[in-house]
């Protein structure tokens, strides 16, 4: 690799908001066989909003929202912000003993009893049956919604359906990576049903769903163990180990500092299409070296 070609390549990247941190990142980007995208905030806008509240029999949607909002006051998760936004202007009850349930949801005491809220895994762990809402939950997931289950006094009181729109260029970026012979995977802590629907919409080959924060790097390793050279694109603190593990880690510039420090390439414009730009630029640069 001639230092001159690398300088020109990285300079050109920088002018387009694609920051290669070193020469080996530029070289490794030419060899990628698969690119894994984190779902929330990377393929999607990361601006989730509540689109539906379904109450269990004998309950009111507003009661479901208030119980959920009481717990989410203690959380900084993007889903928490969506729920608090929906509860704006309402009188949210006091909550105590807030506890984050990593990769699952959260819990707190409200009106003298524990509220559990989060994904299906959390309900299963707490032995809370979905009862009459099981079919509804599946239906919402099938439509690509993230379903937040809300339970109080050991009983499911309702479901909150949350939508997060794909970034406008996500689908085109994936199609273009395919043209270049690169497979595309999606990695998410969200459930399989929701993830599959979003993957179908975007044309993604491999779905890695229900992944706990501590397991993201292992998923990268598994693909590497199949002989693949893996690119990983993410934005969050819990993406950092996976970004480090990947052959090339790409951080979305609007993400966390931790993600940006762990990455080999920073995409300043937070545009998934810039992954295509990075691969093209690296290939063009390397061609000029030979």
Among 13, 48, 144, 189, binds ligand ADP (CB under 6 A): 189
Estimate to the nearest angstrom the gap between the alpha carbon of 254 and the chain centroid: 14
DSSP state letter for 44 = B
Binder of residue 65, out of ligand ADP, Mg ion, none (CB less than 5 to 8 A by kind): none
Among 118, 231, 236, 277, binds Mg ion (CB under 5 A): 236
Q: Does 119 bind ligand ADP (CB under 6 A)?
A: yes
Residue ranges in 225-244 that form contacts with ligand ADP under rule CB under 6 A: 236
Spatial separation of the C-alpha atoms in residues 250 and 166, rounded to whole Å: 18
C-alpha torsion sign, points 71, 77, 79, 83:
positive
C-beta of 39 vs 167, nearer to ligand ADP? 39
Assigned token pair, 231: 């690119």
Please pick, from the candidates 9, 20, 25, 40, the single residue that binds ligand ADP as defined by CB under 6 A.
40
Span interacting with Mg ion, options 93-101, 142-150, 235-243, 267-275, rule CB under 5 A: 235-243
Query: CB-wise, 42 or 282, nearer to ligand ADP?
Result: 42
> Residues 54 to 73: which contact ligand ADP by CB under 6 A?
72
Give the pairing of strands 206-208 and 183-187: parallel
Q: Which does 274 bind (CB under 5 to 8 A by kind): Mg ion, ligand ADP, none?
A: none
* Binder of Mg ion out of 9, 13, 37, 40 (CB under 5 A): 40
Q: How far is CA 23 from the centre of its chain?
A: 28
Q: Is 190 in the site for ligand ADP (CB under 6 A)?
A: yes
38 or 274: CB nearest ligand ADP: 38
Q: Is 38 a catalytic residue?
A: yes
Q: Rounded to a whole number, what is the largest CA-CA distance in the chain? A: 72
- Eight-class DSSP state of 32: -
Interatomic CA distance for residues 278 and 17, integer angstroms: 10
Q: Does 103 bind Mg ion (CB under 5 A)?
A: no
- 75 interacts with ligand ADP by CB under 6 A: yes
Cα-Cα-Cα-Cα dihedral of 129, 159, 163, 257, to 10°?
Answer: -70
Q: How many residues interact with ligand ADP (rule CB under 6 A)?
A: 21
Distance of CA 32 to the CA centre of its chain: 21
Q: Which is nearer to Mg ion, 10 or 44 (CB)?
A: 44
Cβ neighbour number for residue 1 with a 10 Å cutoff: 14
Contacts of 145 (CB under 8 A, 6+ apart): 51, 52, 161, 162, 163, 194
226 to each of 17, 214, 222, 223, how far by Cα in Å? 32, 21, 7, 5
Can you give the binding site for Mg ion, defined by CB under 5 A? 38, 40-41, 236
- Which residues form the catalytic set? 38
Can you give the binding site for ligand ADP, defined by CB under 6 A? 39-40, 72, 75, 77, 79-80, 103-106, 117-119, 146, 148, 188-190, 213, 236
């Amino acid at each position: 690799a001639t230092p001159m070609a690398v300088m020109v390549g990285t300079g050109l990247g920088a002018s387009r908001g694609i920051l290669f941190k070193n020469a080996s990142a530029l070289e490794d980007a030419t060899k990628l066989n698969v690119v894994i995208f984190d779902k929330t905030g990377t393929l999607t806008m990361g601006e989730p909003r509540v689109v539906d509240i379904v109450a269990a029999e004998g309950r009111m949607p507003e009661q479901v929202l208030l119980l959920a909002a009481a717990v989410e006051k203690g959380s900084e998760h993007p889903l928490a912000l969506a729920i608090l936004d929906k509860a704006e202007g309402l009188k949210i009850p006091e909550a105590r003993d807030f506890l984050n349930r990593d990769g699952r949801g959260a819990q707190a005491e409200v009106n003298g009893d524990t509220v559990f809220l989060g994904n299906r895994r959390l309900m299963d762990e707490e032995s809370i049956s979905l009862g009459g809402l099981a079919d509804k939950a599946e239906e919402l997931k099938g439509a690509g919604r993230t379903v937040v289950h809300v339970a109080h006094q050991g009983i499911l009181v309702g479901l909150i359906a949350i939508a997060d729109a794909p970034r406008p260029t996500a689908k085109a970026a994936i199609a273009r990576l395919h043209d270049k012979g690169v497979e595309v995977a999606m990695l998410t802590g969200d459930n399989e049903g929701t993830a599959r629907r979003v993957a179908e919409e975007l044309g993604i080959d491999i779905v890695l769903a229900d992944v706990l924060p501590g397991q993201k790097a292992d998923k990268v390793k598994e693909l590497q163990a199949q002989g693949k050279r893996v690119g990983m694109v993410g934005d969050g603190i819990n993406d950092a180990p996976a970004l480090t593990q990947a052959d090339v880690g790409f951080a979305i510039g609007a993400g966390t500092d931790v993600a940006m420090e762990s990455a080999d390439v920073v995409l300043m414009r937070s545009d998934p299409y810039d992954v295509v730009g990075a691969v093209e630029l690296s290939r063009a640069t390397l061609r000029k070296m030979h």
